[in-house]
Amino acid sequence: MIKDQLNRPLRDLRISVIDRCNFRCTYCMPADIFGPDFAFLPKSELLSYEEIERIARIFVELGVEKIRLTGGEPLLRKDLPVLIQKLSAIDGLEDIALTTNGVMLPKLALQLKEAGLKRVNISLDTLNDALFGQINGRGVTTKPVLSGIQAAKEAGLGIKINMVVKKGLNDQEILPMAEFCKQEGLELRYIEFMDVGSTNGWKMDDVITKKEIYELLKENFELEHTGAAYFGEVAKRYRYSGTDVHVGFISSVSESFCSSCTRSRLSANGQIFTCLFNGNGHDIRDFIRAGASDEEIRQRVTSIWNPRLDRYSDERTAETVKIKRTKKIEMSYIGG
């Protein structure tokens, strides 16, 4: 089989389809950097849907089972259901998901489901409208996001809620979010504040660890550890006792998972990244546009993936963060 060319599993591909967002979130696109005059990528530099489909098909031949579409805000990309329909036709691809802020889901959720999308991860860091407006940089309340969650439910999409927790900003929202998601039957994933990109002002002091969040939840809920559903699952998952509702923790700062990483990333402008924290991308867009054959593309992907030694989360210290900050790709280009 083609996937036997790889030295380690490659099961998950994150594809950023656009480099902009309708929010200017504190975590990944702070307004003081990504203001109205920021120069986003011109359309010609973005991978076309045909190019994305071709690359995705080759990745699936190499073992990828799941694709997640990200951004920026992927729903800003025109006619996104068309891309999802193309991807869903790839033989061997088992799952297509999408990460979104949820604002455009009332309009698009049903189209996305009908095109073949199975799940959405919706970003929601607080239920407090004033704080949410501060975080998203636009003063937008939670109402459109909550409407998006409802639209996703009605469309029959699987839903997970992503909450990035930053000390001194929204750590007081940990329990209210848990109560809300448990009541609504939604899986909540607490994400440690990470040093992605070079613009979010990350400091270790701002991190609320998985252990701290877990201990707080345990004081208020009875939790049962459920274990990993598959090799390479990044979230450590628990179930609220007596329910089918889960809560998860993504702990890339305090409890890294580099050794089991099976994920590659494709940026909005056609660069392959083997690690979220590695700013050294490998061009595939210009390689394709120069006339490369499928076999040449396959060999290039293999040559990028097989030698990978990324262990940034394992090796992270205060000093390495300072040294490596200028070398990281921004979240808007690579997605989460």
Report yes or no: 276 and 245 within 8 Å, Cβ to Cβ.
no
Specify binding-site residues.
14, 21, 25, 27-28, 68, 72, 99, 123, 160, 194, 258, 261, 263-265, 275
**Number of other CB atoms surrounding residue 323 within 10 Å:** 9
**27-51 burial by CB neighbour count: b if 16+ within 10 A, else e?**
bbbbeeebeeeeebbeeeebbebeb
What was the pLDDT predicted at 327? 57
What was the pLDDT predicted at 257? 66
Report yes or no: 90 and 53 within 8 Å, Cβ to Cβ.
yes
What was the pLDDT predicted at 311? 64
Residues of the chain with confidence (pLDDT) below 70: 1-3, 26-39, 196-202, 232, 257, 311-333, 335-336
What was the pLDDT predicted at 204? 82
Specify binding-site residues for S-adenosyl-L-methionine.
27, 72, 123, 194
Q: Could you tell me how many residues make up the chain?
A: 336
What was the pLDDT predicted at 326? 47
What was the pLDDT predicted at 151? 98
What was the pLDDT predicted at 187? 97
The pTM for the full model equals 0.89
What number of CA atoms fall less than 13 Å from residue 175's CA on the CB side? 8
Report yes or no: 161 and 188 within 8 Å, Cβ to Cβ.
yes
- Cα-based distances in Å from 23 to 71, 142, 151, 179, 255: 12, 12, 20, 26, 29
Specify binding-site residues for [4Fe-4S] cluster.
21, 25, 28, 258, 261, 275
What is the residue range of 85's domain? 2-334
**How many domains in the chain?**
1
User: What SS3 state is found at 163?
Assistant: strand
CATH (domain of 266): 3.20.20.70
Report yes or no: 151 and 144 within 8 Å, Cβ to Cβ.
no
Q: 272: exposed, middle or buried (C-beta count within 10 Å: 0-12, 13-18, 19+)?
A: buried
Specify binding-site residues for GTP.
14, 68, 99, 160, 263-265
How many helices and strands in the chain, by DSSP H and E?
12, 12
**Residue 171 token pair:** 């750590």
What was the pLDDT predicted at 325? 47
User: What SS3 state is found at 282?
Assistant: strand
